Amino acid sequence: MNDAVSIATAIRTGQVSAVEVTKAALANISVRDRFLNCFTTVTTETALADAAHIDHEIAKGNNPGLLAGVPFAVKNLFDIAGLTTLAGAKINAENPPATQDAAAVAKLKQAGAVLVGALNMDEYAYGFVTENHHYGTTRNPHDLQRVAGGSSGGSAAAVAAGLVPFTLGSDTNGSIRVPAALCGVFGFKPTYGRLSRAGVALFSSSLDHIGPLAGSVRDIATIFDVLQGEDHRDPVCTKRPEEATLPQLHQDISGLRIAIADEYFAQGADSEVLAAVHKVADALNVKQYITLPEAHRARAAAFVITACEGANLHLDKLRSRPQDFDPATRDRFLAGALIPNTWYLQAQRFRRWYHEQIQKVFQQVDVILAPTTPIKAPLIGQNIMILDGEEILVRPHLGLFTQPLSFIGLPVLSIPVHHSNTLPLGVQLIAAPYNEAIILRLASILETQGVVSARIERA
């Protein structure tokens, strides 16, 4: 009874109370998070009150929701009513508390889930390691000397450590998928605009997504279903034909056209990373390869757009309070502020062209396999990694294989692959926009076969 769906079923049927489950989660967080540093805030009082309300509804014979009594936590850029939204920044700690929950948080609560806290992240979501200058480093539960990834590092580590069954994160250039891969859990970035970002502190509006991290495909699908729906508060969130994702999980996939991304996605990675991709491909009997054209330029354009939009968002504070930024974040924002606007416009023009090219690719295949990160989790403080005999910086290159995909808003699920006792790795399942159900079906079959599984380090 470790996944969200099983916990909710047990609570609804009276096998255990929501208060008991919540107290156990809070006790586990109190003991273990001292070493992991996943949480920036633990909402003990409100969590216990919400759990008691769930038990009261069940006692009256009411159905409190699909996620009744399940503890969860969110990256600290999601608004939580009554708390200040930090977004990993020292400056934001001076802001007034949020007056209402983010749309995604509200939907999960309406489904009966119990919020137990807010999670650590890279400042303003600008990073891939969650080594936060103000709130400390989040450690990888599988090796406390290694990073959890970022920027949703607290979100991935909290699931991987068994502190909560699921969390929410955000993904601009890979910030859900990278930590999910390094921590060995499932991390889902739906199509851009599929889920509402209302009440979320944005980093790069034209790139930002939100999505869940969890220990099973069933949980990912359940949370995705709960979070869907049009929201006028987020102009990019549009209502699409609703898909009954859950019943589709175990359908046959024999008709799916699946290919392995080659060239750019087969270079610049450790051999064990590429072996993980082929482990998944072999399980699916995939022999076909396909090229995503100009992926390296897509990544470069994503860098430009991210830097420009992020710097513009924080320009006033960069001018008046540069000393209060995380030094690594500040320097990248300052560099972004110096990028000519013609570069930004050209990057957006290239983006439209690139989107058209990838649409052509998806006329040939339904799902593409690619590595999530080029290496396993690096050591805390590690600045350099060696790929193909070349020394390169760790922080910007952890998103090597994720940036070209979020650049055009494709739905992607990072699935955890393990090799004996080594650190986990991730493989991306990629589909055309709004084809999330295909990805989840495929992942469910791989999970059932035992090819992929979340690695949870429980006390």
Q: How confident is the model at residue 458 (pLDDT cuts 50, 70, 90)?
A: confident
Characterize the bridge pairing of strands 367-371 and 258-261. parallel
**pLDDT higher than 70, residue 239:** no
Q: Tell me which of 175, 196, 216, 406 is the catalytic residue.
A: 175
Q: Tell me which of 17, 151, 170, 204 is the catalytic residue.
A: 151
CA gap 44, 362 in Å, rounded? 47
| Structural domain contains residue 19 | yes
CA gap 314, 329 in Å, rounded? 11
Write the pLDDT tens digit of every residue in 64-93.
999 999 999 999 999 999 999 999 999 999
- Is the Cα dihedral 252, 253, 254, 256 positive or negative? positive
Which helix (H) or strand (E) segment holds residue 166: the answer is strand 166-171
Write the pLDDT tens digit of every residue in 257-299.
999 999 999 998 999 999 999 999 999 999 999 999 999 999 9
Report pTM: 0.96
Q: Tell me which of 75, 107, 189, 376 is the catalytic residue.
A: 75
**pLDDT higher than 60, residue 348:** yes
Q: Calculate the average pLDDT of the chain.
A: 94
Residue 395 pLDDT: 87
Structure tokens at 89: 């920044």
- Cα–Cα–Cα angle for 372, 284, 254, rounded to 5 degrees: 125
* Domain around 46: 4-449
Q: How confident is the model at residue 353 (pLDDT cuts 50, 70, 90)?
A: very high
| Structural domain contains residue 195 | yes
**Does the active-site annotation cover 75?**
yes
CA gap 421, 37 in Å, rounded? 24
Residue 169 pLDDT: 98
- Is the Cα dihedral 74, 78, 82, 85 positive or negative? positive
Omega of the bond leading into 420 within 30 degrees of 0 (cis): no
What number is the average pLDDT over the span 187-204? 97
What number is the average pLDDT over the span 353-375? 97
Burial class of residue 257 (count of CB atoms within 10 Å of its CB; 0-12, 13-18, 19+)? middle
CA gap 178, 425 in Å, rounded? 9
CA gap 441, 253 in Å, rounded? 8
Q: For the chain, what is the domain count?
A: 1
The answer to whether the beta carbons of residues 406 and 171 sit under 8 Å apart is yes
Q: How confident is the model at residue 251 (pLDDT cuts 50, 70, 90)?
A: low
Structure tokens at 67: 């996620």
Question: In DSSP terms, which residues pair with 210 in a beta bridge?
Answer: 170
Q: How confident is the model at residue 441 (pLDDT cuts 50, 70, 90)?
A: very high
| Structural domain contains residue 457 | no
What number is the average pLDDT over the span 2-12? 96
CATH code (residue 155): 3.90.1300.10
Question: In DSSP terms, which residues pair with 384 in a beta bridge?
Answer: 393
Residue 190 pLDDT: 97
| Structural domain contains residue 114 | yes
**pLDDT higher than 70, residue 250:** no
| Structural domain contains residue 456 | no
Which helix (H) or strand (E) segment holds residue 447: the answer is helix 436-449
| Structural domain contains residue 454 | no
| Structural domain contains residue 404 | yes
Q: How confident is the model at residue 418 (pLDDT cuts 50, 70, 90)?
A: confident
Residue 248 pLDDT: 61
Residue 422 pLDDT: 82
**Does the active-site annotation cover 271?**
no
Residue 266 pLDDT: 94
Residue 356 pLDDT: 97
The answer to whether the beta carbons of residues 365 and 290 sit under 8 Å apart is yes
| Structural domain contains residue 270 | yes
**Does the active-site annotation cover 17?**
no
